[in-house]
Copies of this chain bind each other. A is one copy, B any other.
């Protein structure tokens, strides 16, 4: 793993790539611009990465690897499944909320084509889903989560909800605190949107009124 001086350049190139991909988009991003921003020659990039595409892929791999490792570490200190879900949500939103450029790359640029997405889905994203799936399974086993829900659907719903929070934030002009959404998202995820005091099925209008508010 020791690459000495090289590692510095590799890192500089990756950071430059995040900025340029985020600002210009993957296709419009110019390898020469990334090189300029990383302060290396165009050709040097090809000593560290196979191609422009490999640069994007490596970027995803590097960041996701670290993200998942961190998530795993944070989960250790969460006692209950519900806590774990809170940790996951918080970690997810915090990681993205801390680096808007990175978030742009992850929410938009990495989704260039089915080819890319399949590749990502098959790699670290699979691991991420597995991580979440394990927590769900644990909850279904220990009785803290409804066991009748199809596990995959639950995982995808949670991921999808978090993912949409990030996408909305990325596309929004306002720079609100993404992290703050973790609590309501997990609350919604765990307790659902339905009011518990009211029948889920169609109440007669009168009945609905009679049931009153809270």
A112 touches B114 (CB 8 A): no
The verdict on A123 contacting chain B, using a C-beta distance below 8 Å, is: no
Would you give the 0/1 interface string for A89-123, flagging 1 where the beta carbon is closer than 8 Å to chain B?
Answer: 00000000000000010001101111101100100
The verdict on A188 contacting chain B, using a C-beta distance below 8 Å, is: yes
Q: How many copies does the complex hold?
A: 4
Complex interface: chain B residues within 8 A of A83 (CB):
202
> A25-B115, A114-B171, A160-B160 known; A193 and B139 CB under 8 Å?
yes
- Beta-carbon contacts under 8 Å, A180-214 to B: 181, 184-185, 187-198, 200-203, 205, 208-209, 211-214
A117 touches B171 (CB 8 A): yes
B165 touches A156 (CB 8 A): yes
Q: Which residue of B lies closest to A203 (CB)?
A: B80
A44 to chain B, nearest CB (A): 16
B202 touches A82 (CB 8 A): yes
Complex interface: chain B residues within 8 A of A124 (CB):
none
Complex interface: chain B residues within 8 A of A80 (CB):
201-203, 208, 211, 213-214
Pick the contact of A208: B143, B154, B198 (CB < 8 A). B143
A201 touches B143 (CB 8 A): no
A126 to chain B, nearest CB (A): 11
The verdict on A2 contacting chain B, using a C-beta distance below 8 Å, is: no
> A108-B117, A113-B25 known; A208 and B142 CB under 8 Å?
yes
The verdict on A47 contacting chain B, using a C-beta distance below 8 Å, is: no
Pick the contact of A154: B28, B188, B195 (CB < 8 A). B188
Name 9 extra pairs, CB < 8 A, besides A80-B211, A82-B200, A153-B184. Answer: A25-B113, A79-B214, A114-B171, A142-B208, A147-B195, A149-B184, A153-B185, A190-B200, A192-B192
Give 13 pairs: A residue, B residue, CB < 8 Å, sorted on A.
A80-B202, A80-B208, A117-B171, A142-B211, A142-B212, A146-B193, A149-B187, A161-B161, A163-B163, A163-B164, A188-B189, A190-B194, A191-B194
